[in-house]
């Protein structure tokens, strides 16, 4: 039975979803690092919100852990590099709180326009500052939206309804999509120069850290109003304070901060600054949605292999998994086959999908091929981090898809280029089982088992009899014997499956056969 630790407060309905899926749950919140490591010794999944922080130490020590689910969108409390390097899938729930967060951003935009918190405070104090509190209309004003993903696009929709003129900076937003939304796509500098209001909706990365800094404030309009409901660290807080105090920024509203809670922040008490305690996702509806979503996603992954809303690997629906699953074993064998035969540093990897397979989600297959191709030479490589490991080694990866079927309804060809040679191997499925059908341009049909022997040799009489004698003398029983050749008298290959492991001394004997070019024992997992 699978087991999941819920380390932050979560809806009881989420616990019920795990139970209905036959998954045991343990609910323990506020755990220390050591306590969390201890609990995870027996857990396959971990659910967190923002309080629990699965760091490198926790992830590396949690050998059984397979998946970390974040009930919410932000995953900066999770060490993604450690999770990826250790083969842990990290999922979030990006859609559950999108509406709620977008609505909070709009609320804060209107609050900055009309000084709502200050008006409320002074009214409670018995003051009546009607003449001194002057707001601005939002109708016709230019709203600059930085980031137009799930939340940013909802903000745009609501803002257009309020008659804002909306300009957007988002490198990933297509021009056609911008036109369809009714917004103008601009460069960041242009957005800073033109906006009356600015709202940020990007993740916190090295590129977006302090995206609004002292230089950005210098080119903004005097009287600009700024909102951040995304992540602390997107705005230089010291620079914001200075510009609020000088009056260059008329008002700002922050729901997120570099340090939370911002107890000792210099921002506290700053004039014309609205502060809310990270309430973006804090509605009854949003909390329930993300809790149920994360429970469904983790349950699906543990039970079916479906990967939804993954932030460090591919996503794969349950139906996609059922389609892809038979090809995963083929991908493992193709990668392992080429990896065990390759003796020099790999410069280039080309994966070609032909026929029906080209129309499915091939990313899991690519990552599996690369993982088993490089497994022999790189410690710690796994299906999740394989592509990133290859790129760090300056290995070029190319994927090619041919929708028209060739000799087989579906086939996969892996080509490896090293400094000394280029080698290819192709495979397909027969009756749902993987089959090698081509090696180095030589046709062959071979089903691999746990123990195999690969031999390339000159196609001349005497080779098979000599090989058979060596195997017989060493009591090695042959399960299957497959041969292929380019032409009579040219290069030939043999793929032999055996019932028992072939020891080094046997390999040495085979190498001494005069016609042999290369001999390699190949081993594969039987599962």
User: What residues act catalytically?
Assistant: 231, 260, 278
Six-digit token string for 282: 């804090």
Distance between CA atoms of residues 179 and 182, nearest Å: 5
The dihedral built from the CA positions of residue 10, 12, 17 and 20, taken in this order, carries a sign that is: positive
Secondary structure element (H or E) that encloses residue 267, with its range: none
Six-digit token string for 401: 């898809």
Three-class secondary structure assignment of 502-516: CCHHHHHHHHCCCCE
Omega of the bond prior to 261 within 30 degrees of 0, cis?
yes
**Angle (nearest 5°) at CA 416 between 412 and 417:** 145
Distance between CA atoms of residues 414 and 418, nearest Å: 13
Distance between CA atoms of residues 520 and 439, nearest Å: 14
Secondary structure (DSSP) of 178-216 = HHHHT-EE--HHHHHHH-SEEEE-----TTTTTSB-HHH
Distance between CA atoms of residues 151 and 239, nearest Å: 26
Six-digit token string for 303: 């039970």
Starting at the earlier edge strand, list the strands of the sheet with 451-458: 478-485, 491-498, 451-458, 516-523
Six-digit token string for 4: 């999941």
Q: Is 89 helix (H, G, I), strand (E, B) or coil?
A: strand
């Amino acid at each position: 039975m699978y087991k999941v630790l819920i380390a932050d407060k979560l809806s009881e309905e989420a616990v019920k979803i795990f139970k209905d899926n036959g998954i045991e749950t343990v609910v323990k919140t506020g755990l220390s690092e050591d306590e969390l490591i201890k609990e995870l010794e027996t857990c396959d999944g971990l659910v967190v919100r923002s309080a629990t922080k699965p760091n490198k130490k926790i992830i590396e020590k949690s050998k059984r852990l397979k998946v970390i689910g974040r009930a919410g969108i932000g995953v900066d409390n999770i060490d993604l590099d450690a999770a990826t390097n250790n083969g842990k899938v990290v999922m979030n729930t990006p859609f559950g709180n999108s509406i709620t967060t977008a609505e909070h951003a709009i609320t804060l935009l209107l609050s900055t326009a009309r000084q709502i918190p200050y008006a409320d405070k002074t009214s409670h104090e018995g003051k009546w500052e009607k003449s001194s509190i002057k707001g601005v209309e939002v109708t016709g004003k230019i709203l600059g939206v930085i980031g137009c993903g799930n939340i940013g696009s909802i903000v745009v929709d609501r803002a257009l309804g309020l008659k804002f003129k909306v300009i957007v900076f988002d490198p990933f937003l297509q021009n056609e999509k911008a036109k369809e939304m009714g917004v103008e796509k601009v460069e960041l500098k242009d957005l800073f120069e033109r906006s009356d209001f600015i709202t940020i909706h990007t993740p916190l990365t090295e590129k977006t850290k302090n995206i609004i800094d002292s230089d950005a404030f210098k080119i903004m309009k005097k009287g600009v109003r700024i909102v951040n409901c995304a992540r602390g660290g997107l705005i230089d807080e010291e620079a914001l304070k200075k510009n609020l105090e000088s009056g260059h920024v008329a008002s700002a509203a922050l729901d997120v901060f570099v340090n939370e809670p911002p107890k000792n922040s210099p921002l506290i008490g700053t004039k014309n600054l609205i502060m809310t305690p990270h309430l973006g996702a804090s509605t009854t509806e949003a909390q329930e949605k993300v809790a149920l979503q994360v429970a469904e996603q983790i349950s699906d992954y543990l039970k079916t292999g479906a990967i939804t809303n993954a932030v460090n690997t591919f996503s794969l629906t349950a139906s996609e998994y059922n389609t892809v699953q038979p090809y995963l074993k083929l991908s493992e064998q193709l990668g392992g086959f080429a990896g065990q035969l390759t003796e020099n540093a790999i410069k280039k990897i080309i994966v070609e999908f032909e026929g029906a397979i080209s129309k499915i989600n091939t990313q899991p297959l690519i990552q599996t091929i690369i993982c088993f191709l490089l497994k022999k030479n790189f410690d710690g490589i796994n299906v999740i981090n394989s592509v990133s490991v290859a790129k760090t080694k300056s290995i070029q990866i190319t994927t090619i898809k041919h929708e028209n079927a060739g000799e087989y309804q579906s086939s996969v060809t892996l080509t490896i280029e090293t400094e000394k040679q280029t080698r290819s191997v192709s495979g397909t499925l027969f009756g749902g089982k993987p089959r090698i059908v081509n090696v180095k341009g030589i046709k062959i049909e071979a089903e691999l088992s746990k123990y195999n022997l690969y031999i390339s040799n000159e196609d001349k009489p005497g080779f098979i009899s000599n090989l058979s004698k060596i195997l017989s003398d060493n009591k090695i029983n042959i399960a299957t014997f497959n041969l292929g050749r380019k032409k009579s008298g040219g290069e030939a290959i043999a793929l032999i499956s055996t019932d028992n492991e072939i020891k080094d001394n046997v390999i040495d004997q085979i190498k001494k056969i005069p016609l042999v070019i290369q001999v390699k024992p190949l081993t594969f997992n039987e599962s």
